């Protein structure tokens, strides 16, 4: 009998572990299902709230929604915000469930993902408001140049818009920790190269072109007093 009890001891220990693990597993399943339901409600409510404050109008005017449609996405920027919130709630519920089960490796991995999602939120907000501001500045430059009867107003407006968009994209990439110093340093190197190339081009052979552009933008009106002197000479 003693030998038989020795053989049954591992099985008894295994059943005890299963008995202690099943309640935690049931609690984890309840947490995951509850988090999934809460995520669906939060997504619906958050999307409706954004549309109620006309956030989708801002992203449409900023050009983000058109960019997404060109990329083949069916939704708009507002739906992406709702989707991010949905996965944030689901991943948080999964993090709580796995933490209750004692699976530390999966918990650490999910914790990094959960902390990454808010950075994506901030990056999208920067893109939305930055794109809107860039387009506003571009339209303002176009209107001002046309009011002062400056030629190539549309070109100058696009240049101003794209210049702001470059900085907006860099700020958004910095929020999600993409590239980091490499992106910033690469941008500075490219910007320095462009400025140096333009300066070299103007210095070597672009002076006539620059003079023509300045004459095209700001036509010089001869002074009436200089006209007779020029004719007499």
> Where along the chain do its domains lie?
25-136, 180-220
pLDDT in the model for residue 211: 65
In angstroms, the CA 183 to CA 180 distance is 6
pLDDT in the model for residue 42: 93
Torsion angle in degrees (nearest 10) through CA of 47, 53, 54, 59: -70
Lowest-confidence region among 36-45, 70-79, 205-214 = 205-214
pLDDT in the model for residue 195: 64
Q: Indicate the pTM of the whole model.
A: 0.68
Q: How confident is the model at residue 225 (pLDDT cuts 50, 70, 90)?
A: very low
**Mean pLDDT, range 184-208, rounded to an integer:** 62
Place of tokens 């571009």: 138
| DSSP3 helix / strand / coil % (the chain, rounded to 5) | 85, 0, 15
pLDDT in the model for residue 37: 94
Distance spanning both ends of the chain, measured CA to CA? 133
Q: Which two tokens stand for residue 72?
A: 């083949």
pLDDT in the model for residue 105: 81
In Å, how far from its chain's centre is CA 215? Answer: 41
């Amino acid at each position: 009998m003693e030998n038989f009890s020795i053989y049954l001891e591992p099985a008894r220990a295994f059943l005890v572990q299963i008995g202690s693990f099943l309640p935690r597993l049931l609690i984890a399943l309840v947490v995951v299902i509850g988090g999934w339901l809460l995520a669906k409600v939060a997504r619906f409510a958050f999307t409706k709230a954004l549309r109620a404050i006309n956030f989708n109008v801002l992203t449409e005017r900023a050009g983000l929604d058109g960019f997404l449609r060109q990329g083949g996405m069916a939704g708009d920027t507002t739906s992406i915000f709702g989707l991010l919130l949905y996965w944030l709630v689901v991943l948080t519920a999964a993090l709580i469930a796995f933490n209750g089960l004692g699976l530390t490796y999966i918990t650490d991995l999910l914790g990094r993902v959960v902390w990454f999602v808010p950075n994506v939120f901030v990056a999208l907000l920067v893109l939305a408001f930055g794109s809107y501001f860039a387009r506003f500045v571009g339209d303002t430059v176009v209107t001002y140049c046309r009011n002062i009867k400056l030629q190539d107003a549309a070109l100058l407006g696009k240049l101003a818009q794209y210049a702001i968009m470059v900085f907006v994209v860099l700020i958004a990439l910095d929020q999600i920790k993409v590239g980091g110093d490499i992106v910033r340093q690469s941008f500075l190197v490219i910007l320095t190269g462009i400025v140096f190339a333009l300066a070299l081009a103007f210095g070597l052979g672009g002076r006539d072109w620059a003079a023509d552009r300045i004459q095209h933008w700001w036509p010089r009106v001869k002074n009436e007093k200089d006209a007779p002197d020029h004719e007499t000479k």
